[in-house]
């Protein structure tokens, strides 16, 4: 086990919104804006993909993995419960967007990239997919969680939620190439005008890519391609 770390930096303190092992993608620990853009309040956004004990996102590979699209059900993240990362009030929900096939192959990714412009023109729903926005206690910070599985939202606008409450199931809706969770903090619940805010995650275990052992972290940001597992608060 490597030493505990937790830099004394400013940010919105939240919990990892799931159980089990998930790999970090597009982490603001690597670059800001994390997704290469400030659009839709995503400056400090972070993505998580569920993995197994061998840190694989799907059980196996086939010819479709290399040449075509794949069913989202093949991926460990698809259908996994997503939990409220903090207490607050639900201020927006969106459902009804379809779950796409997943894309790992270069041919499938190339064709998907050509459709990016049309999704942006269709607006927030086509980009974020099925999503929930929570206004944290105090009303100055808003959390967006996106790409839920169609038809699995368990909360409604105006509902108060507590940390750890089941919000919906992970899916592959919106601008998503494989099932994952997109999470961000913002200064507004309106994604079209929101500005992103940095987040600090509460207690978790982190296996860094290419490093042996794990770290225990608190009030920190997971590194790019690290695998994380939430821990119970002390």
Question: Would you say domain 12-230 falls under CATH 2.70.70.10?
Answer: yes
Convert the pLDDT of each residue in 95-149 to its tens digit. 999 998 887 756 555 556 555 556 566 667 778 999 999 999 888 999 999 999 9
Domain boundaries, the chain: 12-230
pLDDT at 106: 60
Structure tokens at 69: 């699209």
Query: How would you class 6 by CB atoms within 10 Å of its CB: exposed for 0-12, middle for 13-18, buried for 19 or more?
Result: middle
**Paired sense of beta strands 199-201 and 12-14, if any:** parallel
pLDDT at 112: 61
Convert the pLDDT of each residue in 177-223 to its tens digit. 899 999 999 999 999 899 999 999 999 999 987 777 899 999 999 99
72 vs 180: CA distance, rounded Å: 10
222 vs 162: CA distance, rounded Å: 23
Sequence-distant (6+) residues with CB within 8 A of 31 are none
Structure tokens at 148: 């839920």
The mean pLDDT of 7-32, rounded to a whole number, is 91
Structure tokens at 57: 């996102």
- pTM, rounded to two decimals: 0.89
Structure tokens at 116: 């990016």
Convert the pLDDT of each residue in 31-69 to its tens digit. 999 999 998 999 999 999 999 999 999 987 664 555 557
pLDDT at 123: 66
3-state secondary structure the chain: CCCCECCCCCCEEECCCCCCCEEEECCCCCCCCCCCCCHHHCCCCEEEEECCCCCCCECCCCHHHHHCEECHHHECCCCCEEECCCCEEEEEEECCCCECCEECCHHHHHHHHCCHHHHHHHCHHHHHCEEEEEEECCCCCEEEEEEECCCCCCCCCCCEECCCCEEEEECCECCCCCCCEEEEEECCCCCCCCCEECEEECCEEEECCCCCCCEEECCECCCCCCEEEECCCC
85 touches 91 (CB < 8 A)? no
């Amino acid at each position: 086990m490597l030493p505990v770390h937790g830099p004394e930096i400013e940010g919105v303190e939240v919990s990892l919104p799931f159980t089990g092992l998930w790999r970090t993608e597009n982490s603001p620990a690597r670059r800001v804006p994390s997704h290469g853009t400030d659009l839709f309040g995503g400056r400090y956004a972070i993505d998580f993909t569920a993995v197994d004990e061998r840190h694989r996102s799907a059980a196996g590979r086939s010819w479709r993995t290399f040449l075509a699209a794949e069913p989202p059900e093949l991926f460990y993240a698809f259908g996994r419960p997503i939990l409220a990362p903090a207490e607050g009030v639900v201020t927006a929900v969106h459902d009804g967007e379809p779950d796409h096939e997943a894309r790992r192959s270069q041919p499938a990714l190339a064709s998907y990239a050509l459709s990016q412009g049309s999704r942006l023109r269709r607006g927030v729903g086509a980009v974020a997919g099925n999503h929930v926005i929570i206004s944290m206690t105090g009303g100055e910070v808003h959390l967006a969680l996106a790409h839920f599985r169609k038809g699995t939202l368990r909360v409604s606008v105006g509902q108060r939620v507590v940390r750890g409450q089941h919000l919906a199931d992970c899916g592959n809706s919106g601008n998503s190439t494989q099932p994952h969770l997109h999470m961000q903090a913002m200064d507004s619940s309106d994604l079209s005008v929101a500005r992103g805010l940095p987040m600090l995650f509460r207690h978790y275990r982190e296996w860094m890519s290419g490093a042996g052992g794990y770290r225990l972290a608190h009030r920190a940001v997971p590194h790019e391609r690290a695998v994380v597992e939430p821990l119970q608060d002390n």
